[in-house]
Chain A
Amino acid sequence: MEKILEVLFSGASIGAIYALIALGFVLIFKSTGILNFAQGELCMIGAFICYQFATLLNIPYILSFLIAIALGALLGSLIDLLFFRRLVGEPIYSTIMVTVGLGSILTCFSGLIWGHDVYALRSPFMNKTVSAGGMIFSQASLYTIGISILLFALFILFFNRSLLGVALKGTAEDSDTAGLMGINVKKMHMIIWAIGSTVAVVAGVFLAEQSFVQTSMSHTGIKAMSAAILGGMESLPGAIIGGFIVGIVESFAANYLSGLEMAGFHFGDIKDVVAFAIMIIVLMIRPHGIFGKEEVKRV
């Protein structure tokens, strides 16, 4: 029983990271129609920026984290300004390739600046654990889950209660009509890119807490995308729940299936396949994802 809870917990802490990245995915897609394949790279950049300040420059962790967030928002806005502002409404295959290209450019630059090795983020939670009821939890995981849930709650409040949040939702649904309401649609898209990039940066810092800083962190992006699609691609709660599902299932697979042998076959690193397997199964049954809905019918 304790083992199960521990596995669940570590799954949730990775799931929170997927959920954050997936949230950015869904926000950008829903608002601008662009599938941002560079979400994982933004996550990786976030980890490197925090590493740069916290580990290399010895700046206090919290401050480094805040700098990473600010730079992440700036980077997202810049990406919109330079590339995607012009590409709204263009064919999805074009925009996807631009995001893929952007992702590999970001990886290339990170490699040039920081190198391709594996680094450790200096953080107050490093290698610390908490034990409760005979179970052991890493502090980094607790911290990740706690702050993520807080962020999700803030997001939901923001999008349902604030004028800007409601305006962003309206713009996502129908940008022409939003323009007719006096909303500056370009500004809204820039804000969405800033938010989408920031959540990826936060996810990157959390991921670095739990493991290391390295360019291959960007592979998290594709799993987060499967979480977003699982959740329905159009739904914020869907992205969050999708993220947790993928993280938790992965954690169980890693603990109970990895290295298993069955009829002479090795399951090996099954953990990395599980996210895609559940995505495929869910999409076969529900092509719009778990929370995806057909459009609300207009009377």
Chain B
Amino acid sequence: MLKITNLETTYKDIILALKGISLEVPPAKIVTLLGANGAGKTTTINTVSGIRKTLDLTLEDGTIEFEGEIINEKEPYDVVARGILQVPEGRKVFAELTVDENIIIGSYTLTDRNKFSEGKNSVSGYFPVLKERGKQLAGYLSGGEQQMLVIARALMAEPKLIMMDEPSLGLAPLLVKEIFGIISRINSQEDVAILLVEQNANVALSIAHHGYILETGRIVMEGPSEVLREDRDIREFYLGLTEVGTKKSYREVKHYKRRKRWLS
């Protein structure tokens, strides 16, 4: 359904962030894109979504195909209109709007307005807490509730593909487990494909069908989740990071902290 071929992108015309990556998301499957901080995961899905101008991000080479059509240079709203929704990194709820208004914005592209309440009911089924919090400002929700809200918001558009950027980030392990359980249910019940971007390999591979591993702009490994899960190299690959580990920098410390989460 989504097919990325040899995608190469730069920031500010000089920083090569993606060095020719290829990946594919089949219909109704969960595919996870794993990689450490700075690997290029967010860049990948932002390129697909078409938010480039504000980031000074340029698609230099390669193709993005969705349902057989090349969507390289589409504007963000056009990408959404085709059924590709992004759940951005860091949640990005509309903090000054109520939970209900966030849900309404999610339904913006629904042309058949009769489907709104149907969608809202289904979303409340997955996330009952959002119904209780409907009139509250989204900025005052807890991190977990905000994560639920942005997933719900994307679902309102009746997407064919949802690209989720690190939904586990900053959440307690129990909450992560709950949310990933719901993501898995959404995938099977709504027949929606999911491109799951994660640093937390364990939990991502527990619900994904297939996985890709991205390292500084290159796909270095791919395979079915069962295979990746069992592969000891994968664990070492993430624990290792020796070249990075030898540099004493702030970023490296951050890497180290994040790395611990891989096996937690």
A-B contact pairs, 24 of them (CB 8 A): A163-B104, A163-B107, A169-B94, A170-B105, A173-B95, A173-B96, A176-B54, A177-B88, A180-B76, A181-B105, A181-B109, A181-B153, A182-B77, A182-B80, A183-B105, A183-B108, A184-B77, A296-B95, A296-B96, A296-B137, A296-B139, A298-B93, A298-B95, A299-B139
User: Does B179 make an interface contact (CB < 8 A)?
Assistant: no
Question: Chain B contacts of A178 at CB under 8 A?
Answer: 105
Q: Contact at A167–B85, with CB atoms within 8 Å?
A: no
B85: contacting residue among A173, A180, A298, A299, CB under 8 A: A180
**A179 located at the interface, meaning its Cβ lies under 8 Å from any Cβ of chain B in the complex:** yes
User: Which of chain B's residues have a CB closer than 8 A to the CB of A181?
Assistant: 80, 85, 105-106, 108-109, 153, 157
B contact residues around A173 at 8 Å (CB): 94-97
The answer to whether A297 has its CB under 8 Å from any CB of chain B is yes
Residues on B with beta carbons closer than 8 Å to the beta carbon of A299: 139-143, 146
Q: How far is the CB of B32 from chain A (nearest CB, A)?
A: 20
- Residues of chain B contacted by A180 (CB below 8 angstroms): 49, 51, 76, 80, 85-86, 88, 92
* Size range of the chain B interface in the assembly: 35 or more
A166 within 8 A of B: yes
Residue B81 CB within 8 A of the other chain: yes
Pair B88/A166 contact, Cβ less than 8 Å: no
Q: Is A269 an interface residue (CB 8 A)?
A: no
Asked if B76 contacts A169 (CB within 8 A), the reply is no
Q: Give min CB distance, B104 to chain A, whole Å.
A: 5
Whether, in the assembled complex, A146 has its beta carbon less than 8 Å from a beta carbon of chain B, the answer is no
Q: How large is the interface on A (under 10, 10 to 19, 20 to 34, 35 or more residues)?
A: 20 to 34
B97→A166 contact, CB < 8 A: yes
Considering only residues 140-170 of chain A, those with a C-beta below 8 Å from chain B are: 163, 166-167, 169-170
Q: Contacts of A170 on B, CB cut-off 8 Å?
A: 94, 97, 101-102, 105
How far is the CB of A123 from the nearest CB of chain B, in Å? Answer: 40
Most buried by A among B54, B141, B142, B157: B54
CB distance from B122 to the nearest CB of A (A): 18
A-chain residues with CB within 8 Å of residue B54 when the two chains form the complex: 89, 175-176
Q: How far is the CB of A295 from chain B (nearest CB, A)?
A: 8
B61 beta carbon closer than 8 Å to chain A: no
CA distance A167 to B139 in the complex (A): 17
Cα distance A174–B54 when bound, in Å? 12
Is A163's CB under 8 angstroms from B101's CB? no
Instruction: Flag whether B75 is at the interface (Cβ < 8 A).
Output: yes
For B95, list chain A residues within 8 Å (CB). Answer: 173, 295-296, 298
Contacts of A296 in B (CB 8 A): 95-96, 137, 139-140
A296 to B139, CA, bound (A): 6
Bound Cα distance from A272 to B107, whole angstroms: 48
Residues of A close to B146: CB separation below 8 A: 298-299
Cα-based distance from A295 to B86 in the complex (angstroms) = 24
Which residues of A lie under 8 Å from residue B94 when comparing CB positions?
A: 169-170, 173-174, 177
Alpha-carbon separation in the docked complex, A167 to B77 (Å): 13
A297 interface neighbour in B86, B91, B139, Cβ under 8 Å:
B139
Residues from chain A with Cβ under 8 Å of B85 in the complex: 180-182
How far does the alpha carbon of A182 sit from the alpha carbon of B105 in the complex, in Å? 9
| B 103-143 to A, binary, CB cutoff 8 A, 1 in contact else 0 | 01111110001000000000000000000000001011111
State the CA gap A181–B51 with chains docked (Å).
Answer: 12
- Least distance between B151 CB and chain A CB atoms (Å): 13
Which residues of B lie under 8 Å from residue A89 when comparing CB positions?
A: 54
3 closest A-B pairs by beta carbon, nearest first, are A182-B80, A296-B139, A179-B76
